[in-house]
């Protein structure tokens, strides 16, 4: 069987023309046509017997001027609908508003359809359903107009999405309120009753009424007209009808002084950046990104943005508040402000670097996600995987200075391998139904694994065939909801036309696609080299981090690339063969030389070698590291840490391989190394002397990188170099590296005297300056935070403020997170910064939580979809030692047993104890292993400082 087919295919055949199926391409595939029953989880899904065609939505927004019901809205909508099944006498759609005031249904000729007198309609709150009961049945394929009158309240801040209000200060320092929307994935129903599932595409026409002072109004499409009622002092903005699209893509913003802060009028429509009036002139960088990426996608897809719809805009909103990094609303993308207001003199490089990928990601969605849309959130990866892939690979084509194609490994590939190695991970195509399940599927699998799968596919079929497949996918499914069949059809068609896979004998693309899309996990490739016989034996199995996980027997089709010392071909990303069984044999020469698989770590798999081959690789990495591509050196680091954690490799042997890191300065090698070191040192945190010794060993590995990178950015250095210094210095300062601490303290002192400090090193300067300083230093940075006009620099300052050692200052900092000065989307990060700054801070954080739990629940927005309070309480457990874990658990069990976070927090306490037990059991083994690869001369001087610091701070 390939996929289970039920309601999904039924709806497709009802609402659009029949399409080519997988069975039409490969006769060996049998489709299961059994109807899926609506179990308890699927009860959250709408029936598919009625579909919307057009919405006409009128929303009256009220701000503080309405004293009876401030920050509320009244709505009235007319929806043209059709029944697509016979005998429909109940209409079911989504509504999550405060009150439904009236409902009526009329035919095209104006006749009122009779409703049930006893119960004409009712809200089913659990499922967000509005059920409308009719006396007569609807005629199939006949238009009806459904009128709904309703009222509701704006959410306070972005975390709960829907229609919400945020705040900002204008150029005169006056605080102002604005209202906007965030509907993805299931929150349009908070703004207007609708069929709030992505498959129900329709046309939306929006009309917004607000006080006259709220004259800066934006939506998906251009403004058709504005009318003003002088008597009421209100204005109504009428927008042109949208393209056919899903409800979650509707959006608007209503404000007093938002304006176009950067614009390129040479495009149709103009490309505009819209934000606070006092950020005028600070969005030129964002505009440049949007312009160049629009040009790229116009050319790449050969479907110009201007051709998608005559009134669709190309606006990019710089929002002071936003729950995610950005959201792809069609015509009006919204971003968290820190990614659009960028100044090289004030913005840390990691933000600038990510902003390029973010703008590209959201623009890619205009085609991959908006023009075509995943049929249901089980296929979220179809939207997000493509956007994530293009966010890095396409952006590299336009902005090569960021070297983003190489950062794909640390951003997506390695992230996917780490996350997808658990026993309970899910495949790309995974059934979700409840709101919590839907929200959970917007994560690593859909974004990271989806993007990594696509990049692996590109290497197999060539970039040219991949581009052709994308164009087929878009043109064959434009303005429609799509599923894995449609995507498969596009790839199969392009591959067949180009013969892209003809060189791989006995390879079945259908099986490749089916397994990678519908099976969880990924393989580890085991390599055994018989040097005497010139033979390489390959075998595979699903990789689990847990040493006790049971084998599954799952076989994955693996694209095989490899190099040897005598024939290094790391730039060749086209697979030499496709391994489709659990074993394969390759011929090689009989020389005793290293062999390395998975060029540039492009394949979604790990590699483990026999002992002799690992030793040859280790020697080459130590003696001639440049003979092995730096991305493959990073792969070795990533794989070795995973192999050690899973018990497939001893720590002694693993750190023998990693000896070469003491000579390494490359970002793509050091990044996974720092991740691996951090995982280990966190498990020694309850043993200060052990952790200090471990830190000294690790710092000896990093000493060469620290000295090479230096403490000050060089003129015209690459973005990657800046990122390397940022990560290395922050990590080194965290571990108490003497010179790193001194240099950072000196720069913080210079900043207090008025000296400008390069933003590329501000992270370690802010953190060390406050951690090593006193109340005056804390207050200096806090005042700087309050006066800054740059959200990205403010976030770095919050990180620094959270590092204070003083319990009273830390409590002041934590109390700041309970005010609006720390925006709701930053509150959990700020809470975490207090834990990351110093381990001893966890005791103060615990007391803060116990004393302020109800305020935390309110201000962190307990019932927001990301579960921020769950996150905060869980993270706290990981930083407490046993004495305070006992206190924490006792408090939870005696006062919080009925709370929503209780089970999550108790589970986190158990995990913390398991981590400490692991650290205690393995400390000697790990210290012995790291000691053997460290530089003793450096350790002796560094260790003295760290142990001294440990006695004070840890």
User: Which pLDDT value is given to residue 34?
Assistant: 30
Cα separation values, 239 from 102, 212, 373, 798, Å: 25, 17, 23, 40
Span 507-527, average pLDDT: 97
CB atoms within 10 A of CB 67: 7
CATH of the domain at 883: 1.25.50.20
CA 240 to the chain's CA centroid: 32
530 and 512 in one domain? no
Domain membership flag for residue 550: yes
The DSSP line for 328-384 is: --TTEEEEEGGGTS--TTTS-HHHHHHHHHHHHHHHHTTTBTTTEEESSGGGHHHHH
| pLDDT value at 150 more than 60 | yes
Residue 328 lies in a domain: no
Tokens of residue 292, six digits = 């160049």
Q: Report how far residue 522's alpha carbon sits from residue 604's, in angstroms, rounded to the nearest whole number.
A: 7
Sequence-separated (6 or more) residues with CB below 8 Å from residue 75:
57, 58, 59, 60, 97, 148, 149, 150, 151, 152, 191, 192
In a domain? residue 95: yes
Instruction: State mean pLDDT over 19-38.
Output: 29
527 shares its domain with 437: no
Strand partners, 176: 168
pLDDT at 547: 87
pLDDT at 937: 41
Residues 490 and 390 in one domain: yes
Indicate the pLDDT class of residue 784, thresholds 50, 70 and 90: very high
Q: Record the tokens describing residue 251, joined without a space.
A: 């959006």
* CATH number, domain with residue 95: 2.60.40.1730
Inform me whether the pLDDT recorded for 949 exceeds 70.
no
How far is residue 489's CA from residue 330's CA, in Å, rounded to a whole number?
A: 26
Task: Specify the higher pLDDT residue, 954 or 747.
Answer: 747
- CB-based contact 373:201 (threshold 8 Å): yes
């429509």: which residue's tokens?
Answer: 269
Q: Residue 17's pLDDT is what?
A: 31
Please tell me whether residues 550 and 501 are part of one structural domain. no
Per DSSP bridges, beta strands 577-579 and 558-560 are antiparallel
The pLDDT value recorded for residue 691 is 95
In this structure, are 711 and 835 located in the same domain?
A: yes
Q: Kindly state the average pLDDT of the residues 91-104.
A: 98
- 386 and 477 assigned to the same domain: yes
Q: Using an 8 Å Cβ cutoff, are 86 and 92 in contact?
A: no
Do 773 and 911 reside in the same domain of the chain?
yes
Do 53 and 143 meet the contact criterion of CB atoms below 8 Å apart? yes
Closest CA to 96 of 196, 189, 182, 198: 189
Greater model confidence, 109 or 947: 109
Please determine, for residue 200, whether its predicted confidence score (pLDDT) is greater than 80: yes
pLDDT bucket at 740, cuts 50 / 70 / 90:
very high
Q: Domain check: are 89 and 187 in the same one?
A: yes
Distance CA 778, CA 537 (A): 60
Q: Of 446, 504, 495, which is closest to residue 466 (Cα–Cα)?
A: 495
Residue 32, pLDDT > 60, answer: no
The answer for residues whose C-beta is within 8 angstroms of residue 338's C-beta and 6 or more apart is: 351, 790, 791, 792, 794, 795
pLDDT(3) > 70 = no
Regarding whether 630 and 761 lie in a shared domain, the answer is: no
CA-atom Rg of the chain in angstroms? 29
Residue 208 is part of which domain span? 47-256
- pLDDT band for 589, please (50, 70, 90 cuts): confident
State the sign of the Cα–Cα–Cα–Cα dihedral 406, 412, 415, 420. negative
Kindly state whether residues 618 and 767 are assigned to the same domain: no
Domain assignment present for residue 59? The answer is yes
C-alpha distances in angstroms, 388 versus 339, 383, 455, 864? Answer: 16, 9, 10, 24
Pull the structure tokens for residue 878. 């990981």
Query: Of 487, 518, 549, which one is at a domain's C-terminal end?
Result: 518
Residue 869 has pLDDT above 60, yes or no: yes
Does any domain span residue 670?
no
pLDDT at 10: 29
Q: In what order do the strands lie in the sheet with 216-219?
A: 155-156, 162-169, 175-182, 252-255, 216-219
Number of structural domains the chain divides into: 4
% residues pLDDT > 90 (the chain):
91
pLDDT at 130: 98
Residue located via tokens 């900092």? 813
Which DSSP letter does residue 802 get?
T
**Mean pLDDT of all residues in the chain?**
93
Q: Return the pLDDT at 22.
A: 28
pLDDT at 40: 58
CATH number of the domain that residue 400 is part of? 1.10.390.10
- What is the distance between the alpha carbons of residues 127 and 415, in angstroms, rounded to a whole number? 34
- Residue 935's pLDDT band (cuts 50, 70, 90): low
Residue 818 in any domain: the answer is yes
Instruction: Please check whether residues 528 and 628 belong to one and the same domain.
Output: yes
Minimum mean pLDDT range among 24-33, 89-98, 505-514: 24-33
Q: How far apart are CA 904 and CA 892, in angstroms?
A: 11
Predicted pLDDT at 41? 62
Residue 295 covered by a domain: no
Q: Does 580 map to a domain?
A: yes
Of 488, 518, 548, the residue that ends a domain is: 518
Distance from chain centroid for Cα 476: 28
pLDDT at 29 over 70: no
Q: Are 383 and 365 in contact (CB under 8 A)?
A: yes
Which DSSP string corresponds to 270-290? PEEEEE-GGGTTS-HHHHHHH
Residue in the block written with tokens 């109800």: 854
Residues 692 and 605 in one domain: no
Q: Considering 636, 665, 698, which residue would you say is the last residue of a domain?
A: 636
933, 662 in Cβ contact below 8 A? yes
Q: What is the pLDDT of residues 604-663, one digit of tens each?
A: 999 999 999 999 999 999 999 999 999 999 999 999 999 999 999 999 999 999 999 999
Is the predicted pLDDT of residue 5 greater than 50, yes or no?
no
């Amino acid at each position: 069987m390939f996929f289970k087919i039920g309601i999904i295919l039924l709806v497709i055949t009802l609402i659009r023309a029949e399409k080519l199926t997988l069975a039409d391409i490969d006769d060996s595939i049998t489709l299961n046509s059994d109807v899926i029953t609506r179990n308890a989880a699927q009860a959250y899904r709408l029936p598919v017997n009625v579909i919307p065609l057009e919405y006409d939505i009128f929303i009256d927004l009220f701000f503080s001027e309405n004293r009876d019901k401030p920050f509320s809205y009244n709505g009235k909508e007319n929806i043209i609908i059709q029944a697509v099944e016979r005998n429909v006498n109940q209409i079911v759609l989504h509504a999550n508003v405060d009150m439904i005031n009236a409902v009526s249904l009329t035919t095209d000729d104006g006749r009122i359809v009779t409703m049930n007198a006893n119960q004409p309609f009712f809200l089913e709150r659990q499922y967000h359903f509005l059920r409308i009961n009719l006396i007569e049945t609807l005629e199939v394929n006949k238009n009806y107009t459904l009128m709904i009158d309703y009222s509701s309240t704006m959410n306070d801040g972005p975390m709960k999405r829907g229609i919400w209000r945020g705040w900002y200060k204008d150029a005169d320092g006056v605080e102002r309120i604005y209202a906007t929307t965030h509907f993805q994935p299931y929150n349009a129903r908070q703004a207007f009753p609708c069929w709030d599932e992505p498959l129900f595409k329709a046309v939306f026409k929006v009309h917004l009424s607000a006080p006259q002072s709220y004259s800066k109004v934006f939506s998906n499409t251009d403004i058709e007209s504005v009318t003003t009622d002088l008597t009421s002092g209100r204005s109504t903005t009428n927008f042109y009808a949208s393209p056919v699209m899903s409800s979650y893509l509707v959006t608007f913003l209503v404000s007093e002084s938002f304006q176009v802060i950067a614009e390129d009028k040479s495009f149709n429509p103009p490309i505009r950046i819209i934000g606070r009036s006092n950020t005028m002139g600070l969005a030129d960088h964002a505009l440049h990104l949007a312009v160049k990426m629009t040009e790229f996608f116009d050319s790449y897809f050969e479907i110009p943005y201007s051709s998608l719809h005559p009134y669709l805009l190309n606006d990019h909103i710089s929002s002071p508040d936003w729950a995610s990094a950005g959201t792809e609303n069609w015509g009006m993308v919204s971003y968290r402000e820190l990614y659009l207001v960028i100044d090289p003199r004030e913005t840390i490089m990691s933000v600038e670097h990510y902003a390029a990928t973010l703008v590209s990601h959201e623009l890619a969605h205009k085609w991959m996600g908006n023009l075509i849309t995943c049929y249901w959130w089980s296929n979220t990866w179809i939207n997000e995987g493509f956007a994530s892939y293009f966010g890095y690979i396409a952006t590299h084509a336009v902005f090569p200075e960021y070297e983003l194609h190489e950062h794909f490994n640390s951003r997506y590939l390695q992230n996917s391998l780490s996350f997808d190695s658990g026993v309970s991970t899910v495949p790309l195509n995974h059934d979700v139904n409840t709101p919590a399940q839907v929200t959970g599927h917007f994560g690593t699998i859909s974004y990271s694994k989806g993007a990594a799968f696509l990049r692996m596919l590109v290497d197999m079929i060539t970039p040219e065939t991949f581009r052709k497949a994308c164009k087929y996918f878009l043109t064959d499914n434009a303005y429609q909801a799509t599923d894995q069949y449609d995507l498969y059809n596009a790839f199969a068609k392009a591959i067949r036309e180009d013969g892209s896979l003809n060189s791989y004998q006995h390879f079945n693309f259908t099986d490749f696609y089916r397994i990678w899309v519908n099976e969880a996990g990924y393989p580890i490739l085991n390599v055994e080299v018989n040097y005497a016989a010139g033979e390489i034996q390959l075998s595979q199995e699903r990789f689990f981090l847990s040493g006790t996980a049971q084998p599954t027997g799952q076989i994955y089709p693996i694209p095989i690339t490899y190099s040897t010392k005598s024939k290094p071909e790391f730039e060749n990303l086209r697979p030499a063969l496709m391994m489709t069984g659990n074993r394969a044999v390759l011929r090689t020469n009989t020389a005793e030389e290293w062999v390395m698989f998975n060029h540039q770590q492009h394949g979604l798999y790990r590699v483990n070698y026999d002992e002799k081959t690992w030793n040859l690789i280790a020697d080459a990495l130590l003696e001639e590291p440049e003979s092995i591509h730096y991305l493959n050196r990073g792969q070795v680091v990533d794989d070795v840490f995973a192999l050690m954690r899973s018990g497939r490799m001893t720590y002694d042997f693993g750190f023998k391989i990693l000896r070469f890191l003491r000579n390494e300065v490359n970002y793509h090698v050091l990044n996974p190394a720092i991740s691996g070191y951090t995982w280990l040192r966190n498990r020694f945190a309850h043993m200060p002397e052990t952790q200090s010794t471990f830190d000294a060993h690790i710092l000896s590995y990093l000493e060469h990188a620290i000295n090479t990178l230096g403490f000050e950015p060089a003129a015209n250095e690459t973005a990657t170099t800046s990122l390397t210094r940022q990560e290395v210095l922050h990590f080194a300062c965290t571990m108490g590296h003497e010179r790193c601490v001194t240099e950072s303290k000196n720069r913080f002192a210079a900043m207090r005297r008025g000296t400008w400090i390069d933003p590329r090193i501000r992270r370690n300067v802010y953190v060390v300056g406050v951690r090593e300083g006193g109340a005056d230093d804390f207050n200096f940075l806090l005042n700087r935070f309050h006066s800054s006009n740059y959200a990205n620099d403010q976030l770095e300052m919050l990180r620094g403020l959270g590092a204070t050692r003083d319990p009273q200052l830390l409590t002041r900092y934590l109390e700041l997170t309970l005010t609006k000065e720390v925006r709701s989307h930053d509150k959990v990060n700020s809470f975490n910064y207090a834990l990351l700054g110093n381990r001893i801070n966890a005791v103060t954080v615990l007391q803060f939580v116990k004393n302020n739990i109800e305020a935390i629940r309110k201000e962190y927005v307990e019932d927001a979809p990301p579960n921020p309070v769950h996150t905060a309480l869980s993270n706290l457990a990981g930083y407490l030692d046993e004495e305070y874990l006992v206190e924490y658990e006792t408090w939870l069990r005696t006062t919080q047993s009925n709370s929503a976070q209780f089970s999550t927090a108790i589970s986190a306490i158990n995990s913390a104890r398991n981590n400490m037990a692991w650290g205690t059991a393995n400390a000697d083994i790990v210290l012995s292993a790291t000691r053997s690869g460290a530089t003793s001369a450096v350790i002796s001087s560094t260790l003295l400082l760290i142990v001294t610091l440990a006695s004070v701070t840890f």
